[in-house]
Structure 1
């Protein structure tokens, strides 16, 4: 009788289990990854069931990318509009289709003889409330599709100017250029929401008469994280290898650290319970507008809208607020 060979069952890799995790990670995004690629790497490393980032960085860019886990994603929209700071290197004389070093050259022009005063005078034109045309290769959407997708298909795209705030646009060094080396300017930028540093550098190049593109870009800080302790992906992987999830969790900031831009109002336990059920409460003292809601322990419960008559309406409440004051205290 012929013996039948045993079949080897395919061994499937166990599916990764994600966990509920709340907090904010200040990630130092590496060059070469999109913001979403970096987000997914740290999400899988932390095994978090929900995560989002607060403002994209181009693949060429490095630096601060705040990552919100769990309930912290509910305040991510507020962080998107925060003031930001960058260091960038502008390469004069070459214009690219993406306005940075990853694009294809479109035009090359000689760089004129420039003095520091010439550069400073050009920089001053771009400080204050100005009009800016975003890059064609950007994540801005038209008809529900990012502009970069249309540009890659070769579509002709007209991008409208919009108003932005540039708080500082300063020369840090022109030594490369003035010493006869590469025509590079090292610049510092502080700006508001919606500003494209690539567009600033492109327009500066035109003001100097030679064109320019971004060769390097690093985000230094985002309000309210002015002196951030950033974590690289490599450092996080090393921590995970040594101490597991407990070591990783120690890298997270509490949700409250991202809420300092909102005026705070403190509510009593009974008011917290009503807000958690989606009901407005009366007689809450504070400034009219969007506010951060805290319980009497200082624990953030969510965001609300306070009107001039001191009526507080819930907008985005955290899960522990919806569970009631006893559960919120236990989570704290």
Structure 2
């Protein structure tokens, strides 16, 4: 019996690359798996994503390459929107369709008014218990790792903001079809749609879990042009310039920060770690721009109006014309 010689794996030669990719994550991949696929496709030395999506979920996953990773933390706290499908009557250990069923209950006769009242009770500033299977860390380890080992995991409630929790359609349920509710959610940082659906099921007296979940937008990307992995692979086959055309400049992710402009001398001082005295406003975290109009990074203005460097980009010390950002 002859064995075919193994084809040696092609080693990817990574490169410095800055920008933001609005990825349409497919179902079945973790956020980190999706990140690594696009990072290898773009050959980007450094990459990070802003806010995990469950493997079951699809939709917007902003991916930051290179210097853009310095603003990823700021994007994590942004407002987000989702469409989800809740299946009534069954609760699972993960609060979604990928988990093991825990309890099944009959779905009572429901009408739109009853469903809307339950949705309203879960809207606003509410207390929510995150799922046991989540990426929240305790003792430096994600809770899902502890749960998978069978350890008892206690998760404390916390306050979250639910700006909208609305019924889009109950046609499946009311027409005596599948016990499904199609819902729209807009929420702040740290809110779990799985927990919202679980708690909705309890409010309706029958339990529920997430059957489908899609993230529609994340501030500041309210009308995102998203790219699927298949589309990116097709562009990569045409050449890296076609692929790079998908990237947004770092400035596109920084519209939520107040803007402050500095001259070349001030930019060099900030790049050297020095603060600038003056009457800079507003107080708090700000986006610092140079004379050429390109963002230099994040700074912090104290109550006295002094500007301190916080997270500056690699080009902040350059006083001459800046390279054009990706279009």
- TM-score between both structures, scaled by the size of structure 1: 0.94
Which residue of structure 1 aligns with residue 301 of structure 2? 306
Shift of 1:310: 1.7
Which residue of structure 2 aligns with residue 3 of structure 1? none
Indicate which of 240, 261, 283 corresponds to 2:278: 283
Which residue of structure 1 aligns with residue 202 of structure 2? 206
Q: Is the CA contact (8 Å cut-off) linking 1:267 and 1:284 kept in structure 2? A: no
Moved >3 Å (runs of 4+): 9-14
Indicate which of 301, 318, 322 corresponds to 1:324: 318
Shift of 1:288: 0.5
Q: Is the CA contact (8 Å cut-off) linking 1:264 and 1:286 kept in structure 2? A: no
Q: Is the CA contact (8 Å cut-off) linking 2:300 and 2:310 kept in structure 1? A: yes
Q: Is the CA contact (8 Å cut-off) linking 2:59 and 2:214 kept in structure 1? A: yes
Shift of 1:12: 4.8
Indicate which of 52, 58, 65 corresponds to 2:61: 65
CA distance in 1 between counterparts of 2:6 and 2:140 reads: 42
Q: Within 5 A, what are the aligned runs for 1:1-332?
A: 12-242=8-238, 244-321=239-316, 323-326=317-320, 329-330=322-323
CA distance in 2 between counterparts of 1:330 and 1:174 reads: 52
CA distance in 2 between counterparts of 1:156 and 1:126 reads: 27
CA distance in 2 between counterparts of 1:276 and 1:325 reads: 11
CA distance in 2 between counterparts of 1:49 and 1:280 reads: 30
CA distance in 1 between counterparts of 2:106 and 2:264 reads: 68
CA distance in 1 between counterparts of 2:323 and 2:216 reads: 36
Shift of 1:330: 4.1
CA distance in 1 between counterparts of 2:124 and 2:46 reads: 37
Q: Deviations over 1:188-241 (max 9, x none)?
A: 000000000000000000000000000000000000000000000000000111
CA distance in 2 between counterparts of 1:183 and 1:155 reads: 32
Q: How many residue pairs were aligned? A: 321
CA distance in 2 between counterparts of 1:62 and 1:330 reads: 34
CA distance in 2 between counterparts of 1:57 and 1:11 reads: 34
Unaligned runs of 5+ in 2: none
Q: What's the secondary structure of 1:65's corresponding residue?
A: strand
Q: Which structure has the larger Rg over C-alpha atoms? A: 1
CA distance in 2 between counterparts of 1:12 and 1:205 reads: 52
- TM-score between both structures, scaled by the size of structure 2: 0.96
CA distance in 1 between counterparts of 2:40 and 2:233 reads: 11
Unaligned runs of 5+ in 1: 1-8
When the two chains are superposed, the root-mean-square deviation of aligned CA atoms in Å is 1.4
Shift of 1:298: 1.6
Aligned CA distance change for structure 1 residues 230 and 11 (closer, same or farther; 3 Å): closer
Q: Is the CA contact (8 Å cut-off) linking 2:168 and 2:184 kept in structure 1? A: yes
Q: Deviations over 1:145-186 (max 9, x none)?
A: 110011011111110000000000000000000000000000
